[in-house]
Structure 1
Amino acid sequence: MPDTPTYLAGDCGGTHCRIRLYDQHGNQLAEGTAGPANASLGLDVMMAAIIDASEDALTKLSSTQIALSSLKAGLAIAGLVNESLRRKFCEMDHPFASLCAETDAFVARLGAFGTKDGALLITGTGSCGFGVVQTQSFYVGGWGFSISDQGSGARLGQLAIRRAVQAFDAIRPSSPLCEEILKSLGGTAASAHHWALTAHPADYGNFATVVFAHADQGDPVADQLLTEIATEIDELVSALVNKGSKNIYHMGGLSGAIHSRLSDETVRYLVEPEGDTFDGALLLIKEKLGLTNSHSQVP
């Protein structure tokens, strides 16, 4: 086991969990991946994915063998907003030498702006905005798929499935997008309903690429849905601006694809970041920020 510290930086989202290992100089050593690690899926599910991704990264190290128990971990965790979840996170057992974490928005903003003012808007599987203005911090959205997540991939997928079911019931006109989605869900509204009973946000988010593909082919329903999602993102940016944020970094799986549909007023506030989520996770560790879990199971 090396004497020098090895840092584990994690991006734990609703679609997948990515882990990167770094040496004490900030050089990346390896990367590992696993399934969804959103806190809203359950902390046990989340931690299992984090451990799987960490072990995947460890197997890719070229020489030095490093144990989980020697890693100093900093995690950006989607859905870690509920006070009860945050308290339970700080009390759960873990296999790392040390562990700190914050919401994915908090950590990504830290990577993008460091200690300077600025806001972050994530539109991936879910959505969340987080800003800091003159040491005051605030969130916009990020309250989970059931009541929030506007402008997200999961929201887009849900709207598309809803529209496909409406077409099946002859409530609204159909289109090639509606036909493909319904076929993939079993071909009937009843089969789509059965699928939805156990579907997670990432399952809905998987349909986002289908919508974009059909929009490129001129599908009117797909085009309408993307216009609706772009408007929701415009609203999120407007909320951040109204709270004092003038520099906003827009990131996430939808950010690039939807950019051309955003309003000119939105685009004028968007800026490029100084670093990414992994940079933020490293700062989280080194500056001892965010939530700290002292329940390491390392002997």
Structure 2
Amino acid sequence: MANFFCGVDGGGTSCRARIVNDNGTVVGEAKTGSANILLGVELAMSSIQSAITQAAEQAGITDLSCISVGLALAGAEQKSAWLAFMSQPHPYQHMTLNTDGYGACMGAFNGENGAIVIAGTGSVGIVLQNGQQVVIGGREFPISDQGGGAVMGLRLIQQTLLAHDDLRPSSALSDYVFAHFNNDLDEIVSWSKTAKPRDYGQFSPKIFELAMQRDALAMELLQGSADDIERLILGLARKGASQIALMGSIGERIVAWLSPAAQSLLVEPKADAMAGALLMAHGNHNLYPLSR
């Protein structure tokens, strides 16, 4: 029976799976919903299995037990969530789980020493040195993840409410957000009671768009996120990192907002987090040891 390897990159917004054969040729790829295990291990497993199943169908794989899976997932740094996720049954030959930051760093430097800042829905900084990882930030929304889209969106909602109360000037961006909620303050408040990180993060494209049009609020928010990302970059440099890859949907677009000192530390990643997860699928890269 042929062996296949699957890399999964799962965050607060989406889950991507890529399957390769023994020769490293991509034979299937798919994308589904959120796979942040802190939002529910069953929900994350459902998204992951759906993505892997879709990718396997593309590859013509009917027996999932021939697939070794490397999982790079948001929320995996919390030990209780990691253990709860790994205790679930699965049909795969082998499964190893580490953080989305670990997978991104593995991909960015092809498994060799390096450092990354990833800023997508959330954010994290990570250094890999000789198999050992040091992590800064990335302790999940809303208490951490500064520089990510969810925190940016949360700040936007806060500033929109201030504008509504005439505590700061309104702008095209705050008007856009208020219109998004049908110009109903109560609707914003009700929405906030159940909003997930991806719900806050949905506003980041509009922030970038209006910042390019010199909207004052959009520029303020982008500069705040850039300052947060730069803090992570310089923090990694203090830990000995000389080359840092900036990754993620926010990170890739915010480079121009960073200082020259921070930009000088940046290098292009060699590959993405799914490539890193595929490297993980070939071995034991579990963040925590299994007790069973």
State TM-score, norm by structure 2: 0.95
Give 1:39's aligned residue.
37
Give the counterpart of 2:233 among 231, 237, 240: 237
Question: Deviation at 1:287?
Answer: 3.0
Find out whether 1:19 has 2:24 as its counterpart.
no
Give the counterpart of 1:73 among 62, 69, 76: 69
Moved runs in structure 1, 4+ residues, more than 4 A? 291-295
Counterpart residue identity of residue 29, structure 1: V
Give the counterpart of 1:199 among 195, 202, 222: 195
Counterpart residue identity of residue 123, structure 2: S
Find out whether 1:223 has 2:205 as its counterpart.
no
Compute the RMSD of aligned alpha carbons.
Answer: 1.9
Give 1:50's aligned residue.
48
1:75-123 C-alpha deviation (Å, 9 max, x unpaired) = 1101111111122223221121211111011111112224432111100
Distance 1:52 1:185, change over 3 A: same
Kindly indicate whether the alpha-carbon contact (under 8 Å) linking 2:45 and 2:85 is maintained by their aligned counterparts in 1: no
Counterpart residue identity of residue 20, structure 2: Y
Distance between the aligned counterparts of 2:5 and 2:46, measured in 1?
Answer: 19
Aligned length: 292
Q: Aligned to 1:281, what secondary structure does the other structure show?
A: helix
Distance between the aligned counterparts of 1:292 and 1:58, measured in 2?
Answer: 28
Q: How does 1:1-299 map to 2 (within 5 A)?
A: 3-61=1-59, 64-133=60-129, 136-291=132-287
Q: Aligned to 1:18, what secondary structure does the other structure show?
A: strand
Distance between the aligned counterparts of 1:5 and 1:116, measured in 2?
Answer: 25
Identity %: 34
Distance 1:257 1:288, change over 3 A: same
Distance between the aligned counterparts of 1:27 and 1:135, measured in 2?
Answer: 26
Counterpart residue identity of residue 50, structure 1: I
Q: Which sections of structure 2, spanning at least 5 residues, go unmatched? A: none
Q: Aligned to 1:45, what secondary structure does the other structure show?
A: helix
Kindly indicate whether the alpha-carbon contact (under 8 Å) linking 1:19 and 1:53 is maintained by their aligned counterparts in 2: yes
1:232-275 C-alpha deviation (Å, 9 max, x unpaired) = 11111111111111111110001222110011111111112233
Distance between the aligned counterparts of 1:241 and 1:191, measured in 2?
Answer: 43
State TM-score, norm by structure 1: 0.92
1:19-38 C-alpha deviation (Å, 9 max, x unpaired) = 11110111000111110111
Kindly indicate whether the alpha-carbon contact (under 8 Å) linking 2:8 and 2:17 is maintained by their aligned counterparts in 1: yes
Kindly indicate whether the alpha-carbon contact (under 8 Å) linking 1:133 and 1:244 is maintained by their aligned counterparts in 2: no
